[in-house]
Amino acid sequence: MRFERYGIGIAKGMALTFKHLFRHPITTQYPEERLTVSRRIRGNELVWDKEKCTGCATCAKSCPQGAIQIITSVKAEENKYVVEKFEVDIGYCIFCGLCVESCPYEALFMSYDYERARYRRQELVMAKEGLLLSDKKQPSGYARPKVEATLPKQTLLLDRDKVKK
């Protein structure tokens, strides 16, 4: 107990500080340097496959935030629904993934993207044109094992070359 009074505790703390002071940095200088994210990332938007979607609205009913709005019309001659409106308010979305998990036709995906910061809330409302699955919109492998198999392996900080073993 008496040793504590003579600064042993401070010396221990400083020893730990110096140990880390000379360690190679493992931080990432974002946005210049980017790591590959998890293949199952729940990115901050949704990706919608128009061709597979039947307009059943299961995703909208599963959403705890009420963030998905779907309006359909009936195409009687083809005995199917036409999706007139498919809109997601990303400002309300909590990226829980329940809509993606519940879609019976695998027509909805979480996004692989994680950069959707905007200055205005209304810019976070995504209409169907903005959600469409395309070459520029990479879906995440979350709840979609076939997509997951096509994505690159996640980079962990410890995997990087510049980190000393």
Burial track 99-134 (b if 16+ CB lie within 10 A, e otherwise): bbebbeeebbbbbbbeeeeeeeeeebbbebeebbbe
Does position 132 interact with ligand SF4 (CB under 6 A)? The reply is: no
SS3 45: strand
Q: 142 in helix, strand or coil?
A: coil
The 91-130 contact track toward ligand SF4, x by CB under 6 A, reads: --xxxxxxx---x-x-xx----------------------
Query: Which residues from 30-69 bind ligand SF4, rule CB under 6 A?
Result: 53-59, 62-63, 65, 67-68
Please give the backbone phi and psi of residue 126, each rounded to the nearest 5 degrees, phi first: -105, 120
Residue reference for tokens 């909208």: 60
Nearer to ligand SF4 by C-beta: 101 or 155?
101
Shortest gap between Cβ of 6 and ligand SF4 (angstroms)? Answer: 57
**Contacts with ligand SF4, residue ranges (CB under 6 A):** 53-59, 62-63, 65, 67-68, 70, 88, 93-99, 103, 105, 107-108
